[in-house]
């Protein structure tokens, strides 16, 4: 049998010739996606819109100033007589019944400028300002939550690409070794049952490796396309990555705070906004007081005159069946929103505790797999020597390589689940997205 490569090399990732592939950090991927993200931009625009609403509503104490200009022609009895009055040119002859009932058509122009200053509105506008302020604060929290959720997707996809790449390299190493064994295997004839059994075992393992490699590559493509859809347009790139645990601790490590996420903050502010709505409904039953003034100039066919109106007004809806129950309804809704916030906090706390327990279990299992990986590497070195000396059969060697393949599959499953758990955990907290990410875990 021809001498083959040391089986210990199977434990190392295969270094591919990828000169056209650029190593790209998570920071580069995230920066481009963040800059091009429609969902983040939409949330920020909504925030700006609400800021304008707050600014506008906070100026409710300013007077309403208006300009009213009309030019019209009429033979309407009331308009014609009032027009004469506003010109201050009523004559004795104008009171003739025939002229009052059938006036000639005349052209009139009236221009007025005035203001309306609300002095008291029952707290309606004040509570409206509070409503918009709570809504704006809720939207700011929502914007941060949207950014964190997208970052969790990006960091999980980036890490999964790296994990799959590492394991594909390992499987390619095993596959290359199997191909070399198949080319050099001399005792695989059917007349030799032991040798033929070894040949079948190597072919079966080769087929399994091919299937696993294609499966992992397909999963990689899904994550690459996901990042592309989210806004990362670079091509021919690969992640910088060393260790899944180090990568998570560096880029996806969430705080241990118990005060909930930005999502719960947003819900809490919306609940406060609901209480402001209840206060606004209460204002329906209170009086409104204001001051007004208007000066005008009126021009008709006889003359031009001017005048003014100024004073105070009181408006008070004493009874309107449409207002009955509005305050109680709004308060019940506000209490309902408050209870929903409490329920959400409890749900998040339970889910976060679940991810913590899951994270600890996955890390422990991964540590055991890493220890098993070292033992298996040593076993492969010994088995390689024994195989070359003829002390073990090809079937026995294939069994060790199969266990190595099983280990790779288990590592992929645990590491991708570890990334998924970390991604789920950070969206349950007020996660601070790292500013600098020079590498993927080094």
pLDDT in tens, 118-154: 999 999 999 999 999 999 999 999 999 999 999 999 9
Residue 436 has what pLDDT? 52
The CA distance from 263 to 139, in Å, is: 10
Residue 2: closest CA among 134, 174, 185, 154: 185
Residue 110: closest CA among 87, 90, 77: 87
Residue 5 has what pLDDT? 37
H or E element: which one contains 73?
strand 64-74
Second-level CATH architecture of 7-59+124-279+324-426: Up-down Bundle (1.20)
Residue pair 182/189 in contact (Cβ under 8 Å)? The answer is: no
Residue 187 has what pLDDT? 55
CA 279 → CA 59, 181, 267, 273, distances in Å?
19, 81, 19, 10
Residue 245 has what pLDDT? 95
Residue pair 57/129 in contact (Cβ under 8 Å)? The answer is: yes
CA angle 345, 348, 352 (to 5 degrees): 140
Residue 144: closest CA among 254, 40, 231, 248: 40
Sequence ranges of the chain with CATH classification 1.20.1600.10: 7-59+124-279+324-426
Counting as low any pLDDT under 70, the low residues of the chain are: 1-19, 185-195, 255-258, 384, 436-442
Residue 190 has what pLDDT? 54
Residue 258 has what pLDDT? 63
Residue 194 has what pLDDT? 54
CA 91 → CA 74, 88, 107, distances in Å?
19, 9, 18
Residue 14 has what pLDDT? 31
Sequence ranges of the chain with CATH classification 2.20.200: 64-121+287-322
Q: What is the third-level CATH fold of 64-121+287-322?
A: Outer membrane efflux proteins (OEP) (2.20.200)
Residue 191 has what pLDDT? 47
Residue 21 has what pLDDT? 85
CA 67 → CA 83, 95, 110, 240, distances in Å?
19, 33, 11, 66
């Amino acid at each position: 049998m021809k001498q083959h490569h040391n089986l210990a090399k199977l434990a190392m990732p295969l270094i591919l010739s990828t000169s056209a592939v650029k190593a790209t950090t998570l920071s580069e991927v995230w920066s481009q996606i963040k800059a091009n993200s429609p969902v983040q931009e939409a949330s920020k625009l909504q925030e700006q819109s609400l800021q304008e609403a707050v600014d506008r509503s906070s100026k409710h104490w300013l007077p309403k100033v208006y300009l009213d200009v009309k030019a019209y022609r009429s033979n309407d009895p009331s308009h014609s007589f009032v027009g004469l009055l506003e010109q201050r040119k009523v004559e004795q002859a104008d009171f003739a019944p025939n002229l009052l009932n059938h006036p000639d058509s005349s052209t009139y122009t009236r221009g007025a400028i005035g203001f309306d200053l609300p002095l008291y509105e029952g707290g309606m506008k004040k509570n409206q300002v509070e409503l918009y302020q709570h809504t704006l604060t809720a939207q700011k929290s929502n914007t941060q939550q949207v950014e964190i959720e997208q970052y969790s997707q990006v960091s999980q996809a980036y890490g999964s690409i790296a994990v799959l790449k590492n394991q594909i390299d390992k499987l390619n190493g095993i596959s290359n070794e199997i191909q070399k064994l198949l080319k050099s295997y001399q005792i695989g004839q059917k007349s030799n049952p032991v040798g033929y059994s070894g040949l079948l075992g190597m072919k079966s393992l080769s087929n399994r490796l091919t299937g696993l490699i294609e499966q992992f590559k397909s999963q990689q493509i899904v994550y690459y396309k996901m990042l592309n859809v989210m806004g990362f347009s670079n091509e021919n790139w690969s992640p910088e990555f060393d260790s899944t645990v180090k990568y998570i601790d560096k880029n996806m490590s969430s705080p241990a705070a118990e005060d909930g996420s930005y999502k719960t903050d947003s819900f809490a502010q919306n609940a406060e906004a609901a209480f402001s709505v209840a206060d606004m409904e209460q204002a329906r039953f209170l009086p409104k007081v204001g001051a007004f003034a208007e000066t005008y100039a009126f021009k008709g066919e006889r003359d031009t005159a001017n005048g003014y109106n100024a004073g105070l007004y009181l408006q008070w809806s004493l009874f309107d069946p449409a207002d009955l129950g509005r305050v109680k309804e709004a308060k019940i809704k506000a209490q309902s929103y408050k209870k929903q916030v409490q329920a959400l906090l409890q749900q998040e706390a339970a889910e976060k505790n679940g991810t913590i327990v899951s994270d600890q279990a996955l890390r422990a299992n991964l540590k055991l797999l890493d220890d098993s990986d070292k033992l298996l590497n040593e076993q492969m070195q010994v088995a390689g020597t024994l195989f070359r000396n003829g002390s073990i059969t090809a079937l026995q060697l294939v069994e060790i390589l199969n266990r190595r393949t099983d280990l790779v599959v288990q590592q992929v499953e645990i590491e991708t689940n570890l990334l998924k758990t970390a991604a789920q955990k950070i969206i349950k907290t007020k996660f601070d997205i790292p500013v600098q990410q020079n590498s993927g875990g080094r």
